[in-house]
Amino acid sequence: MKTRFYLNLVLRGIMFDCVILHPREMLEMYEKFIWFG
């Protein structure tokens, strides 16, 4: 459970960084994720 929580925290941090630093790239990735996911 601890590992999963840590992984979730790291992923959230990465997403936060991406949204702040690369909003356009993040949006494109999100759209691709929706279409192909």
One-letter amino acid at 14 equals I
Confirm whether pTM is higher than 0.75: no
pLDDT at 37: 61
Structurally, the chain folds into a number of domains equal to 1
pLDDT at 29: 82
pLDDT at 14: 83
User: pLDDT tens digits, residue range 1-37?
Assistant: 789 999 888 888 888 887 788 788 878 888 888 887 6
Give the contacts of 29 (CB within 8 A, at least 6 positions apart): 18
pLDDT at 35: 82
> Domain limits at 9?
5-35
pLDDT at 17: 80
